[in-house]
Amino acid sequence: MVAEFGEPGVQNAKIVDRIEVDPVSGEVVLGMIERRPWGADPRQFQQIEEKINRYLGYALDGHLAEQYPQYQGKQIRIRLDCAEAPAGEALRFVAAAEHATSTHGVAFDAKVTPPKA
């Protein structure tokens, strides 16, 4: 699949990196992976924003429910799995993303997932 669609990560807006159901909330979580530290790439925020917009389209336009009928009617959360906690400009970006997605009824959060050694 990697040969056809490329590596998962925020720099690749063509794919959904991860889909899972949160066992506590029951939300469908669309996960995106950011392995780079904040500020490592001047296009980083733009890439994350593009991926968020793609995920919103995937969920809100019905493609998620079409491919996974068992998720029909479930609450959606977009999760950014990032290598380090957002701070400064990155923290403001995450807050803006939370606000923007909430206007569409979709939750957003960032979860620190350090890279595996």
pTM: 0.91
110/114 Cα distance (integer angstroms): 12
68-115 pLDDT, tens per residue?
999 999 999 999 999 999 999 999 999 999 999 999 999 999 999 877
Mean pLDDT within 56-66: 96
For the beta carbon of residue 99, count every other beta carbon within 10 angstroms: 10
**Residue that the structure tokens 């924003």 belong to:** 49
Given pLDDT bands bounded at 50, 70 and 90, which one contains residue 6?
Answer: confident
- How many angstroms separate the Cα of 93 from the Cα of each of 11, 89, 99? 16, 6, 10
Tokens of 18: 């991860």
